[in-house]
Structure 1
Amino acid sequence: MIDRYRWFEILGLYAGLLVFLFFVLSPFIEGFMVSLKPLAQLFSTPYSFIPKRASFDAYFQMWQSVPMLGLYIFNSFFISTVVTLIVIAVVVPAAYAFARFQFAGAGLMLGAFLAVNMFSGAVLLIPLFRLMRSMGLLNTYWAMIVPGAAFLIPSSIWLLRTYLIRIPKELDEAAWVDGASRLYTLRRVILPLAMPGIVVVAIMTFIGAYAQQFIFALTFNSKSEFMPLPIGLFAFFGKQEVVWNELMAASFVGVLPVMIVIVFLQRYLVAGLTAGAVKQ
Structure 2
Amino acid sequence: MSNAAMIDRYRWWEIILIYCGIALFLFFVLSPFVEGFLVSLKPLSQLFSSPYRFWPENGSFEAYRTMWISVPGFGRYIFNSFFISIIVTLIVLCLVIPAAYAFAKFEFRGMGILLGAFLTVNMFSGAVLLIPLFRLMRSIGVLNTYLAMIVPGVAFLIPSAIWLLRTYMIRIPQELNEAAYMDGASHFYTLRRVILPIAMPGIIVVAITTFIGAYAQQFIFALTFNSKTEYMPLPVGLFAYFGKQEVIWNELMAASFVGIAPAMVVIFFLQRYLVGGLTAGAVKQ
**Which interval holds the TM-score relative to the shorter structure?**
over 0.9
Alignment of 1:95-134 (within 5 A): 95-134=100-139
Which of 262, 268, 275 is matched with 1:263 structurally?
Answer: 268
Give per-residue Cα distances to partners, 1:5-57, cap 9 Å, x unaligned: 55444433322221111111000000001000111111111111110121100
Look up the match of 1:157. 162
1:187 maps onto 2:206 in alignment = no
Inter-partner Cα distance in structure 2 for 1:238 and 1:10? 52
Inter-partner Cα distance in structure 2 for 1:270 and 1:33? 30
Worse-matched range after superposition: 171-180 or 3-12: 3-12
1:17 maps onto 2:29 in alignment = no
Look up the match of 2:256. 251
AA paired with 1:230? P
AA paired with 1:207? I
AA paired with 2:175? E
Q: What is the TM-score with the length of structure 1 in the denominator?
A: 0.92
CA shift for structure 1 position 262: 1.3
Gaps in structure 1 of 5+ consecutive residues: 275-280
Q: Tell me if structure 2 keeps the 8 A contact 1:236–1:246.
A: no
Look up the match of 1:61. 66
Inter-partner Cα distance in structure 1 for 2:120 and 2:59? 49
CA shift for structure 1 position 196: 1.4
Indicate the percent of aligned positions where both proteins have the same amino acid: 74
Alignment of 1:1-280 (within 5 A): 2=5, 4-5=8-9, 6-234=11-239, 235-239=241-245, 241-269=246-274
Give per-residue Cα distances to partners, 1:85-140, cap 9 Å, x unaligned: 00000000001111111111111111111111111111111111111111110110
Gaps in structure 2 of 5+ consecutive residues: 281-285
Inter-partner Cα distance in structure 1 for 2:275 and 2:24? 28
Look up the match of 2:283. none
AA paired with 1:159? L
Q: Tell me if structure 1 keeps the 8 A contact 2:208–2:274.
A: no
